[in-house]
Amino acid sequence: MRVEIVSVGTELLLGDIVNTNTTYLSKELAALGLAVFRQTTVGDNRERLLKTLDIAFSENDTVIITGGLGPTDDDITKECAAEFFGRDFYFHEYSWVKILERLTRSGRNVITENNKKQAMIPEGAIVLENFCGTAPGIIIEENNKRIILMPGPPREMRDMFEKSVKPYLEKYSKKQFLSKYVRFYGIGESLLETKIKDIMDRQTNPTLALYAKTGEVLLRITASAEDKNECEDMINRQLEEIESREGVGEYIYLVGDEDVSSSQTELNSAVANLLIENNYTISIAESLTGGKIAEMLVEKSGISNSLLEGVVCYSNKSKILTLGVKEETLEKFGAVSEEVAREMVLGVAKRLNSDFAIATTGIAGPNSDESGKPVGLVYIAVYAQGDVTVKECLFVGDRELIRFRASVEALDEVRKNILKKVAKKFGS
């Protein structure tokens, strides 16, 4: 089966709405082992949509369309599909009853005549019930070709796909596809590509794809086989080869599935899991990052037993009174210094006797401080069960980017320190 995904809606072409439907469908179809040949977006125009269908079916046997199933005149998807396959319409009583029920429950006191448009179904079509909205889905089959129509609102489309379209398509699936996403921190995309270039050059199955994130690199490994266990084995063998490369495996911090692929970082989740799983506690003192590290950690459910406190000590007065930073240290070295970062992390660790602690101080910009230290200069201190390390970084970017990169770098530093302590604890 070759599939083309068509998204209908002038609002998509204008950029008024982000098209998340195509991303979702592409992943779901790949998991079924169905090849997506092309993705097309077309406005609410009859001639253009009919031309799109003509081209799509000249190269594919299945077209999936989202959008254009509403009750107004510019909702033309169903009409174009019926015209393309030469089908007349009939009034589908069951769909109309469901439409009335949903409109009534939503508080609609006046039901207009055009609402009946959604209950008009092409002859011979399979009707897909919409459990989240009013527009039913439709499947038309003819001469080994099929068109699948689903509503545009993502919630409605996803529910319909899971309950009706996916079971329908499963009978056409011959192979299983599985993707795993490997997250790297601390190595650039170009360097990583260089180190695994020979693997990428000979890739057939599994396939590899690199994606750059802010400060991170994402590697997608996709395998196809008769069953998912075989896919899993193929991916694991590929991952073992990548991990064994010198200067590669040490930068991997997470292997996950599609659910984490779109986020900018998952370091916060990785660190939170390490703390929770090992019953470790952590305290945080933030100047430059202004609470961002604490915010990232509390995104993880269950962190409450591990995160003891987060202190935003932006002023020198706060550093002195809250964390016990010495005035003479501030006067001699300045707030943005290795020495102050060290005293900050010791102070916050001591307050509640946490196992680990993080402290950040730096210059986010847009201007440098009085001493002339450059914008982007950051000191990250980590306390790890009595041991203290301080890392100097120089980040490039605007104020928000510098703060984000400092937060992620701090999380990675504490992650590495936790792993060291865990390894020592278990003698490995």
The DSSP letter of residue 168 is: H
CB 390 within 8 A of CB 341: yes
In three-state secondary structure terms, 219 is: strand
Entry pTM:
0.67
Residue 148 has pLDDT above 70, yes or no: yes
In three-state secondary structure terms, 73 is: coil
Q: Return d(Cα 130, Cα 184) in angstroms, integer.
A: 41
Same CATH fold assignment for domains 2-170 and 267-425: no
Which of 90-123 are b and which e, b meaning 16 or more Cβ less than 10 Å from the residue's Cβ? eebeebbebbbeebeeeeeeeeeeebebbbbbbe
What are the E-state strand segments in 44-170?
Answer: 62-66, 89-91, 120-122, 126-128, 137-142, 145-150
In three-state secondary structure terms, 118 is: helix
Mean pLDDT of 346-369: 94
DSSP H/E element including 155: helix 154-160
CB 343 within 8 A of CB 324: yes
Q: Domain ranges in the chain?
A: 2-170, 176-260, 267-425
Which of 146-150, 176-180, 252-256, 310-314 shows the lowest mean pLDDT across its residues? 176-180
Q: What is the mean pLDDT of the chain?
A: 92
Which residue would you say has higher pLDDT here, 150 or 110?
A: 150
Q: What pLDDT, on the 0 to 100 scale, is given for residue 83?
A: 96
The pLDDT-based confidence of 233 (bands split at 50, 70, 90) is: very high
Residue 18 has pLDDT above 60, yes or no: yes
Beta strands 216-225; 387-394: pairing state: unpaired
| % of the chain beyond a pLDDT of 90 | 72
Q: Return d(Cα 13, Cα 197) in angstroms, integer.
A: 37
Which of 55-64, 82-91, 222-231 shows the lowest mean pLDDT across its residues? 222-231
Which residue would you say has higher pLDDT here, 297 or 212?
A: 297
Residue 90 has pLDDT above 70, yes or no: yes
Beta strands 2-8; 35-42: pairing state: parallel
DSSP H/E element including 51: helix 46-59
Q: What pLDDT, on the 0 to 100 scale, is given for residue 74?
A: 86
CB 388 within 8 A of CB 381: yes
Q: What pLDDT, on the 0 to 100 scale, is given for residue 428?
A: 61
Which of 50-54, 233-237, 360-364, 423-427 shows the lowest mean pLDDT across its residues? 423-427
The pLDDT-based confidence of 81 (bands split at 50, 70, 90) is: very high
For 371-396, what is each residue's pLDDT tens digit?
A: 789 999 999 999 999 999 999 999 98
Q: What pLDDT, on the 0 to 100 scale, is given for residue 153?
A: 93
Q: What pLDDT, on the 0 to 100 scale, is given for residue 262?
A: 57
Nearest in space to 160 (alpha carbons), one of 190, 180, 195, 134: 134
Which of 130-139, 212-221, 295-304, 404-413 shows the lowest mean pLDDT across its residues? 212-221
Mean pLDDT of 294-314: 96
Residue 175 has pLDDT above 90, yes or no: no
CATH class for domain 267-425?
Answer: alpha beta
Q: What pLDDT, on the 0 to 100 scale, is given for residue 261?
A: 52
Q: Where are the alpha helices (DSSP H) in 291-398?
A: 292-297, 316-323, 327-333, 338-352
Nearest in space to 332 (alpha carbons), one of 360, 390, 364, 371: 371
Mean pLDDT of 150-159: 94
The pLDDT-based confidence of 263 (bands split at 50, 70, 90) is: low
Nearest in space to 63 (alpha carbons), one of 72, 50, 46: 50
> CATH: 3.40.47.10, 3.40.980.10, 3.30.70.360, 3.40.630.190. Which one for 2-170?
3.40.980.10
Query: What fold is seen in the domain 176-260?
Result: Alpha-Beta Plaits (3.30.70)
In three-state secondary structure terms, 306 is: coil
